[in-house]
Amino acid sequence: MMESGVPLCNICGEQVGLSNNGEVFVACHECNYPVCKTCLDYEIKEGRNACLRCATPYDENEQESTNHAIVASHPDTAQDAGVHARTVSFVSTVDSEYHDDTGNPIWKNRVESWKEKKNKKKKNQSKAVVQEAAEVPPEQQMEEKPQLADAAEPLSRIIPVPKSQITPYRIVIIVRLIVLCLFFHYRVTHPVESAYPLWFISVFCEIWFAFSWVLDQFPKWSPINRETYLDRLSARYEREGEPCQLAPVDFFVSTVDPMKEPPLITANTVLSILAVDYPVEKVSCYVSDDGGSMLTFESLAETSEFARKWVPFCKKFAIEPRAPEFYFTQKFDYLKDKVQPSFVKERRAMKREYEEYKVRVNALVAKAQKTPEDGWTMADGTPWPGNNPRDHPGMIQVFLGHSGVHDIEGNELPRLVYVSREKRPGYQHHKKAGAENALIRVSAVLTNAPYILNLDCDHYVNNSKAIREAMCFLMDPQVGRDVCYVQFPQRFDGIDKSDRYANRNIVFFDVNMKGLDGIQGPVYVGTGTVFNRQALYGYSPSNLPTIHKSSSSFSCCCRRKKPAKEKDLTEVYREAKREDLNSAIFNLREIENYDDHERSLLISQMSFEKTFGMSSVFIESTLMENGGVPDSANPSTLIREAIHVIGCGYEEKTAWGKEIGWIYGSVTEDILTGFKMQCRGWRSIYCMPLRPAFKGSAPINLSDRLHQVLRWALGSVEIFLSRHCPLWYGFGGGRLKWLQRLAYTNTIVYPFTSLPLIAYCILPAVCLLTGKFIIPTLSNVASILFLGLFLSIIVTSVLELRWSGIGIEDWWRNEQFWVIGGVSAHLFAVFQGFLKMLAGIDTNFTVTTKAADDGEFADLYLFKWTTVLIPPTTILIVNLVGVVAGFSDALNKGYEAWGPLFGKVFFSFWVILHLYPFLKGLMGRQNRTPTIVVLWSVLLASVFSLVWVKINPFVSKDDPSAMVQNCIDMDC
């Protein structure tokens, strides 16, 4: 009970509000169960017309007065009877298209008339529901009370990190920040006069490292965990004797080149989707073949045939995982918990079937190794349309689903659709982002599920209940209304036990993402993500507060502001225009109730074509919040429309890739797409089930891993140089939280850390070779500051390990690869990003010189020489030479030289220790060092030594003793 005396709603936690007569609103006059007007109307709309506590039917007059009060109190908003409106984030239209000469909306009268129709229809439905509820015997209503109570419980809960763990962690962060300020005060006020350039470079690097630490640390201020309740989800949406109300889901699987992405791996991903633990009529799988390969098409045909046997086997015996390749190769006791006597026999038979299926797929791969001169031909003798991968028409093939194909037991199978979008020379196709946008449109026309899950072709479903886990958030009326996507962590197979190159990214997925979940949600990482389709369409969340347009107040408040703020005012005005569209969009939520003439008129007036493209069928699908395709739709007409929306020119002069769908402009379209959504006010959720939801494969050898990191870093640099940079984009609406903005800023500036990191890794060797040092003789106060800084760094890491639950080995591998990637891939990403964005030059660092090994984890020892390996190799050699030179100099100078040598050697060993996995990657297996590494080492060491002897910048030219010493050293 709040101080005002108005009770809180037991569903949403807000005040229940007042009724028209000024008294506290009461939903149930029988037990006075506190429910607000909005939640009551939502329950009635969902068909739950009885009190959640006592199961007493709601009074008919109360329902009508509630609906009337809501409509009357918000006549111009996009909220009607508890149904929240969506806001178009970008509509490329002209004001004259929406308003008449007086400035009023053209469609205002039509909207009001549709409101009256809808209200009358809802009143009639409410009367029918109440009458039906009244006819139910009292004893049957009493039996339904427990079920209603269970269904009303939340589907998930937040588990905050215990205060005993998070409070000391926060205290140490603040202490470390204070120590850093004192440390920099000392460093700036105590320069090293004898080595001023070294001191200046070191202080600059340390300041940048501190800035990077702040960007990385403070978004982890409030980490949380989450727990889901799958039983409650079933109790609410899968009631016995009633149709299943779980929301449909469209799965997207993307592939390009079947030679680099083996069809068998893609097929396993598809099979794991088709066998997922979810109602088959609610699942549709779309496979995007962006290379137009006949091999991918034929392998999917074989996969659809094998799925008729594999899917019922998985569901009958609750197989995990449901990707056959990974199920049959895992080492475990498959008889455990399998009590059916027929399991062993059927498992052996299924394994034989799978081996035969693999033989057929591998035969297709072998056949595809050599392309015929005249191109590939299909079974009927016609040429394959995709013979030219850069110039071919759009192709769609429905393999499973409503085509009548059932499994061997006669049950329906999920829909499986092959899609290859049109490719023509002269058009920009935008790689993966463009392919995903094409899948959005195709799926909207054919199935139009309200939720979308996208997976890479090598990420299979490892947990068959993963979709249900996501639905515990997305289908919860209180949690899911402003959730744009649910992100699952990425887990990987086939990685060596020590994880030499931090391929698992444990620190990112188990520490950073948990921290972001406590703010506005995790970033989108490209795969294993369940999207709200409406968020991809550029709509804003339903509970977003309205931005009122008031030109006078704007002019008054902003008259004295600097011109730099004018951009924010423009953005606010744009938001106000979006609010004007709400009334029309909200009325289209039930667009299937309108006749064709009204529908076409409204779509034309709103000029949705300029946003979504020239397809009325697709535009209608975007306005159906709960998804679905009209029952009267002709399948052949839908297929023709689907071919139309994947045309290469469909996106021209539309908002695709700019404001809706996957956003273009970066090779890391995932970060950019999630950022745009959260700038509109959406939030995301991080779901970490005990059994990993999805698993994939990762490049485990050094060269491939560095090229993967290079691509990610290049995408971050592209975003930094674009208009979507978090440093200046999205301030007008104020919907992106500040800690969330810090996190996104960290994702785009981390590659630039490579420059100070390389300088700092070379400084120890330079100090050893010159006899100088970056730190002056320490006083007692300075010693305490240095000790406090090191202790705060250690304690912060220990406490972070404590609340996150990760191991110290994973943390250490992450620290090592941060240095390895920073001095190699990140440096090249900065160089390539500036060349590409500023000069239009697209450099490509190719991988060459391969030498394979046999045995387990053979790829780990596969050596591929690439230019990315040059900087870390140079740093290693320079530091090794510096250590040798330092010890030699100390031996010559005597006992007093050993004290200063300790600090210099410590920093050199710190660099070598962090680069040790890189050194092991260069060496391969025992005594098998590649010749090219030896040549590079000798060459770089010789050049560095000769240059240093010839040009010593730290020896004064006017010092006679130094000149004499140089002459002696050079034997002159």
**Catalytic positions:** 290, 670
State which amino acid sits at residue 733: G
Binding residues for Mn(2+), as ranges, are: 432, 456
Sign (positive or negative) of CA dihedral 316, 317, 320, 322: negative
501, 705 contact by CB (below 8 A): yes
Q: HEC profile for 735-775?
A: CCCHHHHHHHHHHHHHHHHHHHHHHHHHHHHHHHHHCCCCC
For residue 697, list its beta bridge partners: 493
CA distances from 254 to 285, 286, 455 (A): 11, 8, 7
Sign (positive or negative) of CA dihedral 582, 584, 585, 586: positive
Three-state SS at 224:
strand
341 contact partners, CB below 8 Å, separation of at least 6: none
476, 155 contact by CB (below 8 A): yes
Q: What DSSP element (H or E) covers 850? A: strand 848-851
Residue 304 phi, psi dihedral angles, 5° rounding: -65, -35
Burial of 850 (0-12, 13-18, 19+ CB in 10 A): exposed
> What's the order of all strands across the beta sheet hosting 460-461?
460-461, 694-697, 491-493
Burial of 193 (0-12, 13-18, 19+ CB in 10 A): exposed
Backbone angle region of 563, left / alpha / beta, with phi > 0 → left and psi within -120 to 50 → alpha: alpha
CA distances from 793 to 177, 625, 799, 911 (A): 10, 49, 10, 17
**Helix spans in 805-869 (H):** 808-822, 825-834
- Give the count of beta carbons closer than 10 Å to the beta carbon of residue 46: 12
399, 416 contact by CB (below 8 A): yes
Q: Could you give the CA distance from residue 435 to residue 267 in angstroms, rounded to a whole number?
A: 19
223, 197 contact by CB (below 8 A): no
State which amino acid sits at residue 559: R
Q: Could you give the CA distance from residue 70 to residue 418 in angstroms, rounded to a whole number?
A: 46
Token readout for 171 is 């205290």
For residue 249, list its beta bridge partners: 283, 451
**Distance, CA of 884 to chain centre:** 47
Token readout for 539 is 């709509």
582, 85 contact by CB (below 8 A): yes
**Distance, CA of 620 to chain centre:** 28
CA distances from 12 to 154, 473, 478 (A): 10, 14, 6
Token readout for 396 is 């769609």
Residue 29 phi, psi dihedral angles, 5° rounding: -80, -5
Q: Could you give the CA distance from residue 785 to residue 779 in angstroms, rounded to a whole number?
A: 10
